[in-house]
Structure formats: structure tokens, C-alpha cells
Structure 1
Amino acid sequence: MFQSVLALFFPKICYSCNGLLHDNEQYACTSCRHNFPVTNFHFNKDETVLKVFYGRIPVENATALLRFEKKGITQNLIHNLKYKGFEEIGEFLGNWLGGELQNFPEYQDIDMVIPVPLHKKKLRKRGYNQVAKFGQALATSLKAEYIEDVLVKVTNTSSQVTKNRLTRWLNNTEVFKVINSHKIENKHILLVDDIITTGATMEACGTVLLKNANTRISIATMAIA
């Protein structure tokens, strides 16, 4: 009875299409779940994400769960995650991708999961890192450690959305640094973010992480543009 009254005043919505969810649905409606533009990169041994970093930084393995298209359901999903406070979307996507990656040998030796960090000013303004719950869920699935106190963003850069590849790379130069570096020596790190476009941000993160002894990097994102 209480749940019915609660649903009347606070109805559950689909985070992809903003429609109402039925009682047996969670996070996304059945229609959106069937229409999510999944990449299947890791199932098909597709190197689309890996090729983004060829000649830039050495990456062991790389994948993205969904394709990101303007005005598509993935964009709405991630918009709700980043700007509407629906942090549970990150957990939903992390459990989904983690449940798949745990079956692949190349991801079974991941030692730790590290999110692309936000600058402390942006973190205070937003209240959370939209990648945190995604990374935590992946770490749980892969039986890895989730680490937030190694990679930090030291420069508060402007939005990357309208920048081209060169400008993004220049904008990220010396933006990130590693602290507590002893934690990542001899480790295989899964670096995670929400969307990969040019790869400049993850390249900048990977560059500073790889300066540490015998560190290896793999990459996983919610979506690829």
C-alpha cells in the first residue's frame, strides 16, 4: 500500500526516455533496454576504442558499452547521470558492463579501477563524480580494488564539448598528476570514464599513470561518441 502511494507522488521514470516505468522495470523501460545501441566490442574483439590510442599511449585492452549519438537514448541517459543527480545510473551501467567483462580473460587480471577525476571545484559544485559508481561496480565485478586517491586533476579546465582533437590534447597537458604512486606500481589498471570522443582526457590520465614502474593500462567507458 505504502509503495503504491509513494509511486503515485514520486513515479519512477526511465532514465533514457523519461517515460514512466512499470513495477517490474528499473532504471530503463523495456523498450529502451531493447534499443540501447550496444557496441559489443569486447564480444567481437573489436579494437575501435583501442585504435583511438594507437601511437599515443600503450593500452592493453579497451571497450565501451554503448554508442553515443546526439539526441539519442544514450545521451539522455548520461545527461541524467551527470546533471540531474541520478548517480544510480552509473551503478546500473557498471554492473551491466562488469557482468560481461568478468567473463573475458584479458580483464580478469585487473588489479584496480581508477576513475577519470574531477577537479575539486567541479566536484564540490556537482556533488559527485559521475564515473564513481560506474567504477565501483566494475571493480566489484572484476574483484579489483577501486582507487580514488591516486589520480587527481590539478587544473580546472573548461568544457571539452566544442573543442577539436588538438585543442583537447593541449587543454589536458599537465592537467592530471599521480599521488601515492606506490599504490599503482606493478599494477594493471582499468581507467574508466563516461564518454570517449577524441581520447585526449584518457590519454592525459594514462600518460601520468604509465610513468610509474611496470604499470599497465586498460580502458572501459560507458559510451563512445
Structure 2
Amino acid sequence: MSKSLNIKDWINDFISIIYPNCCICCGKNLIKGEESICMGCLLQLPKTHFHLLPDNILEKKFWGKADIERVSSYLYYSKKSAIQTILEKLKYSGQKEIGVVLGKYAASDILDSDFVKSVDFIVPVPLHKKKLAKRGYNQSLCIAQGMSEILHIPISDGNLFRAIENPTQTKKSTYERWENTKGIFDVNDGSIFDNKHLMLVDDVLTTGSTLIACADAIKAKSNAKISVFTIACA
């Protein structure tokens, strides 16, 4: 077994010399132990630390709109920034492994906090089956997989589903976002979520309309507690 592992490591090292893995932010070659993002760029990512702050500004987005326990994001999002580049590569360039890596980094950040202590399931925001077929993967599920690996919390994928394919939210106003997400999600079996604490996971939190629509669908079929975590907040 040891010899087999050594040969595998040697092959991987050789491949990395011929086809080096590069940082998705700065383009520099990654060294052993780095995944997708080099340590220099990782240390410069703008963390929010909202998981340490109850009643933070993200939680206030949901007040009076949905019954949510806690809300946090790993990073601040801004245009023409490293995090914009990272998320665009995740969503539009087929680099789904970035989602897993981001999920690991984010989960490591909140691992020892009260934010996740009572969470029973990680629930990725679902894509409509048509969009899933076109993209080939759900970026939110990739993030959830990375988080689950670190937090050792199981993923519930498929019980919450997107019943209606809605147009992209990217260029819509706040009002249009709310109208665009009403009633688009549903739950197959509410009993799976009954008396559970769910952590909804998505890539970016803007107005919160998509996540509130998810929460509404879950609450309509179960008495679950719901928290929200995203990689970035705008």
C-alpha cells in the first residue's frame, strides 16, 4: 500500500511539473498543500466574520421577511475583485472543484463557532433541472460538499427542489428579484426536515430573495429551523 501511494504521489508531482496547477486569483504556480488559491491570495480575501456577530447586517436583511436563525457569509463581494473572478470561474467556466475548495475554507472558518453547533443538515440551494443539465453541476452543492467534509454535517440534496425555472437574477432590481422568486421552490417530504436545523448554502447573498423563497417552501412543509450561509455577500 505504501509503495502504491508513493508511486501515485510521484506521478502527481511529475504531472504538476509538466502541467502546473495555478492560483485562480493571481496565476502563480501552486505549491504542495495549496488548492486552487495560493496562500498569499487566500490571506488577502476579505472575510466578514459575521458568524461571530448575532444580529449582523445580513441577518437584518431577513427580519420581517422570513423566520431565520442565523445568517453569515464567508467573504465580501465586490465587482472587479478576486472573489468575483473566483465565483465566475466556479459558475461559468466549469471549474466545479473551486466550489468544493471554497466550501472547505469557509467551513474551516466557522468550524469552532456556535453558528454550526446545532445544524443537522446542509441544504444547497437547488438549480432547476434544465439549468442543471446545461451547466452540468450545481455550484451550491459543490460548496456544500466542501463544507460537509470539514464540518461532518450531512447534506440533504433533492428534498428541496426548484419547481419553476426563473430567469437569471443578475440584472434585476430588488423588486424584480422578489417577484422573480415567489413560489419557485418546493419540498418533496416535509417530514425529513421536521424538528431539524437546516443550513441553506448558496454562492452569493444579495437581496436574500432566493434564500427567503427557499425558507418559505421549507416552512410550508415542516417546522424546521433555518440558518443561511453563503460564500460571499454583496
**Scaled by the length of structure 1, what TM-score is found?**
0.92
Q: Percent identity?
A: 33
Deviations 1:39-75 (A, max 9, x none): 1112344612111111100110111001111010001
Where 2:134 maps in the other structure, the secondary structure is helix
Provide structure 1 residue ranges, at least 5 long, that are not aligned to the other structure. Answer: none
In structure 2, relative to structure 1, the CA distance for the partners of 1:24 and 1:100 (3 Å cut) is closer
Cα distance in 1 for residues equivalent to 2:13 and 2:191: 52
1:137 aligns with 2:149: no
Where 2:200 maps in the other structure, the secondary structure is strand
Q: In terms of mean alpha carbon deviation, does 211-220 or 167-176 score higher?
A: 211-220
* Residue in structure 2 matched with residue 34 of structure 1 by the alignment: 43
Which structure: greater helix fraction? 2
Tell me which of 87, 109, 113 is aligned to 2:118.
109
In structure 2, relative to structure 1, the CA distance for the partners of 1:210 and 1:38 (3 Å cut) is same
* Residue in structure 2 matched with residue 77 of structure 1 by the alignment: 86
Deviations 1:11-52 (A, max 9, x none): 211122334324453311232112101111123446121111
The two structures, once aligned, show a CA RMSD in angstroms of: 1.8
* Residue in structure 2 matched with residue 201 of structure 1 by the alignment: 210
Structure 1 segments of 4 or more deviating over 4 A? Answer: 1-5
In structure 2, relative to structure 1, the CA distance for the partners of 1:219 and 1:40 (3 Å cut) is same
1:157 aligns with 2:166: yes
* Residue in structure 1 matched with residue 219 of structure 2 by the alignment: 210
> 1:210 offset after TM fit, Å?
1.3
* Residue in structure 1 matched with residue 75 of structure 2 by the alignment: 66
Provide structure 2 residue ranges, at least 5 long, that are not aligned to the other structure. Answer: 1-9
In structure 2, relative to structure 1, the CA distance for the partners of 1:106 and 1:3 (3 Å cut) is closer
Where 1:121 maps in the other structure, the secondary structure is helix
> 1:125 offset after TM fit, Å?
0.6
In structure 2, relative to structure 1, the CA distance for the partners of 1:98 and 1:165 (3 Å cut) is same
> 1:5 offset after TM fit, Å?
4.6
**Scaled by the length of structure 2, what TM-score is found?**
0.89
Deviations 1:81-139 (A, max 9, x none): 11122222112121122223231234211111111100101100110001112112323
Cα distance in 1 for residues equivalent to 2:13 and 2:152: 37
Cα distance in 2 for residues equivalent to 1:46 and 1:175: 28
Cα distance in 1 for residues equivalent to 2:39 and 2:116: 29
